[in-house]
Amino acid sequence: MGYQCPVCEKIWPDTMELARHVFGVGDQAHKDWVNSKGVNFIELLLLQTMEPGNKGYKALAEILEKEAKKVD
């Protein structure tokens, strides 16, 4: 089973990997999708680096867990 990127439809094994993909690509389309979920893309990125514990990625992964399409 995998999770499909809601923007470019690439498939990743888990939502943490998918979150890394979303931040890693970071183009306008991916930014817009994150911002449309009631959070701020840049704020999440800054959260990741201002505090220890992978917080930014975990926060995005939680959103993706609910929002991303699960594929077999």
Partner 1 sequence: MKKYSVINTPVHNIDGIAKITGRAKYTFDITLPRMLHGKILRSSYPHAEILHIDTSKAERLRGVKAVVTGKDTLGKKQGIWRRFKELCDEEILARDRVRYIGEPVAAVAAIDEDTAEQALDLIEVEYKPLPGVFEPLEAIKEGAPQLHEHAERNINVTRHIEWGDVDEGFKKADYVREDWFRCSSQAHVCMETHCAVADYTPEGKLTVYTSTQSHYYIKVLLAEILGLRENDVRVISRYTGGGFGSKFELDSAQFCSSLLSMKLCQPVKIVLTREEEFTATKRRTPMFYYVRSGIKKDGTFLAKEARVFTEGGAYTAMGATALYLTGFFQSFPYVWPSYRFDGYRVYTNTAPTSAMRGFGAPQATFCAETQIDLIADELGIDPIEIRRKNAMYPGYEVPGQATIQSCGLDQCLDKIDEWIKSRGKLPAHRGIGIAAYGFMSGGIFNWFDTPYAFSSAIVQINIDGKVDLYVGSQDMGQGSNTTMALICAEELGVKFEDIRLHMGDTENCPVDLGAWGSRETLMQGNAVKMAASKAKQQILEFAVAKLTPNIVYDLDIKDGCIHLIARPERGLSYYDVVKEAIRGKDGQPIIARGHYTPHRKGMISPAYSFGVQAVEADVDPDTGKITLKNCVTAHDCGQVINPLGVKGQLEGAIAMAAGYGFTEDLPMDEGKILNPNLVDYMLLRATEMPETTVMEVETYEPEGPFGAKEAGEGLTNPTAGALGNAVFHATGISIKNLPITPEKVLNALKEKKKK
**Distance, CA of 54 to CA of 65 (rounded, Å):** 16
Contact with partner 1 (CB under 8 A): which of 20, 37, 59, 65?
20
Q: Would you put residue 4 in left (φ > 0), alpha (ψ -120 to 50) or beta?
A: beta
Contact with partner 1 (CB under 8 A): which of 24, 38, 66, 72? 24
In which element (H, E) is residue 44 found? helix 41-50
Q: Is 38 in the site for partner 1 (CB under 8 A)?
A: no
Binding positions for partner 1, rule: CB under 8 A: 20, 23-24, 26-28, 41-42, 45-46, 48-49, 52-54, 57
